């Protein structure tokens, strides 16, 4: 009897553990997966399957059970390769009708289980011709529903078998220099959180995840940013943390009331926040780069106070989000400097250039003590986690470029290139 009771308690303890790779930064919001992942692979080695993904999309796959969910946008006419007159590369795809598509694929062999066209529309504004798409906002699943978020086009919610449940459309966003949209959707418990930082009318909205009923909306004095919100359950209060240029803010998830806020980041904030204990880590890497470690147990305006435990201005990520594991914070600059910092003190264990002059837009992920770094040049580096820098493997995909962030679950690594989704599985 005692043995059965222990089994029951163990089952209850683990019943609420996240499964698969259900959201943008993985099951723990740290970029770290459960279990293991292959170390050595290529476009021909340890590839369980690969499938072409129609259209263009830089969102990452999300995984639940035996299914993969992935979004894309399919143009119905040719798109100008490199637009002119919208700053450095913005405005691609503007004025061209697209189909906004959610695909559900089998993890076993990659076949399409079902596909839904959420909407057909002519976008009012384009994206960065190299690094943007109309399907860059990451979807999310809670194991009951999948939420396909297309920014200005809306959010479209389905059950896991593709039955439409509810949808909401939004006013068109105005992004900096026509660089495009791309903030991930977030689900926490019974709430769906969508952030809309743009050049005008920035705001955050929270909905009932089951019905789409609006719960609250808060205006934000911010310009364009792409950082995904993060929910932290801290001492009985769920703090909804948003990382942005004017202020990093913590909202009470239930009411929308600001708990604390803190200035200090530069513009164009993209990396997602991560939390360890009672500290949140936020980062910007464009002009005036900064990385701040901020205490969660304060209220009010924390700018310039001792609530900011430490800061780092060297080697910060502009685009990729960091990995947090075992008291260490790992991040990579867009031009290939990898850093490992002591999360408690901010002191670097190392900040080093990678073996080749790589470029990065995909975020770091990790599994079983190893970091996975997907490059624009088509290499996927595997680096040993710890206080000393060591490359374990360099895995080459000669004809690919990785902008999307990988996903890991059950020993499998999923890589989305600009054209293809790979399932990497050790044999």
Cα–Cα distance measured from residue 114 to residue 122, given in angstroms and rounded to the nearest whole number: 24
In a domain, 106, yes or no: yes
Please report, in tens digits, the pLDDT of each residue of the chain (427 residues total). 444 333 343 333 334 456 699 999 999 999 999 999 999 999 999 999 999 999 999 999 999 999 999 999 999 988 766 665 566 788 899 999 999 999 999 999 999 999 999 999 999 999 999 999 999 999 999 999 999 999 999 999 999 999 999 999 999 999 999 999 999 999 999 999 999 999 999 999 999 999 999 999 999 999 999 999 999 999 999 999 999 999 999 999 999 999 999 999 999 999 999 999 999 999 999 999 999 999 999 999 999 999 999 999 999 999 999 999 999 999 999 999 999 999 999 999 999 999 999 999 999 999 999 999 999 999 999 999 999 999 999 999 999 999 999 999 999 999 999 999 999 998 7
Q: Is residue 14 part of a domain?
A: no
pTM of the model: 0.94
Residue ranges making up the domain that contains 347? 20-425
Q: Does 56 reside within a domain?
A: yes
- Token pair in block for residue 277: 């204990």
Q: Is residue 292 part of a domain?
A: yes
Q: Is 379 domain-assigned?
A: yes
- For position 352, which CATH number holds? 2.130.10.10
> How many distinct structural domains can be found in the chain?
1
Look at residue 305 and tell me if it is in a domain: yes
In a domain, 15, yes or no: no
For residue 241, give the 3-state DSSP assignment. strand
Q: How many Å apart are CA 120 and CA 173, to the nearest integer?
A: 17
Say which residues have a Cβ less than 8 Å from residue 5's Cβ, sequence separation at least 6: none
Distance CA 175, CA 182 (A): 10
Q: Are 378 and 398 in contact (CB under 8 A)?
A: yes
Could you give the CA distance from residue 184 to residue 141 in angstroms, rounded to a whole number? 12
List, for residues 55-76, the tens digit of each pLDDT value: 999 999 999 999 999 999 999 9
């Amino acid at each position: 009897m005692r043995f059965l009771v222990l089994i029951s308690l163990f089952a209850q303890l683990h019943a609420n553990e996240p499964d698969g790779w259900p959201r943008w930064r993985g099951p723990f919001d740290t970029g770290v997966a459960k279990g293991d992942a292959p170390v050595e692979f290529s476009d021909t080695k340890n590839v369980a399957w690969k499938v072409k993904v129609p259209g263009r999309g830089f969102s990452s796959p999300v995984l639940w059970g035996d299914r993969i969910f992935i979004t894309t946008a399919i143009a119905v006419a040719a798109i100008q390769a490199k637009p002119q007159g919208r700053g450095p590369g913005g405005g691609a795809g503007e004025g061209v009708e697209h189909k906004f598509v959610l695909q559900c694929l089998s993890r076993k062999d990659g076949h399409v289980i079902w596909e839904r066209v959420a909407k057909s529309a002519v976008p009012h504004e384009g994206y960065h011709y190299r690094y943007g798409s109309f399907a860059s906002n990451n979807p999310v699943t809670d194991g009951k529903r999948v939420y396909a978020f297309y920014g200005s086009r809306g959010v479209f919610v389905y059950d896991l078998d593709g039955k439409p449940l509810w949808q909401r459309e939004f006013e068109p966003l105005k992004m900096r220099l026509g660089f495009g949209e791309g903030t991930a959707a977030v689900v926490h418990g019974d709430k769906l959180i969508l952030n809309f930082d743009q050049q005008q009318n920035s705001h955050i909205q929270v909905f009932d995840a089951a019905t789409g009923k609006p719960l609250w909306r808060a205006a934000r004095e911010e310009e364009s940013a792409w950082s995904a919100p993060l929910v932290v359950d801290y001492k009985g209060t769920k703090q909804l943390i948003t990382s942005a240029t004017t202020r990093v803010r913590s909202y009470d998830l239930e009411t929308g009331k600001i708990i604390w806020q803190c200035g200090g980041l530069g513009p164009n904030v993209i990396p997602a926040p991560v939390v360890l204990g009672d500290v949140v880590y936020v980062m910007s890497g464009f002009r005036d780069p900064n990385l701040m470690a901020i205490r969660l147990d304060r209220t009010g305006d924390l700018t310039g106070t001792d609530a900011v435990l430490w800061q780092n201005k060297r080697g910060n990520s502009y685009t990729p989000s960091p990995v947090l594991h075992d008291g260490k914070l790992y991040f990579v600059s867009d031009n290939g400097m990898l850093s490992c910092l002591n999360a408690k003190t901010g002191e670097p264990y190392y900040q080093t250039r990678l073996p080749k002059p790589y470029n990065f837009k995909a975020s770091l992920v990790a599994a079983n003590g190893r970091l996975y770094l997907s490059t624009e040049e088509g290499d996927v580096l595997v680096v040993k986690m710890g206080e000393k820098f060591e490359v374990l493997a360099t895995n080459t995909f000669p004809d690919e470029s990785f902008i999307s962030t990988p996903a890991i679950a059950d020993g499998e690594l999923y890589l989305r290139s600009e054209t293809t989704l790979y399932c990497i599985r050790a044999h």
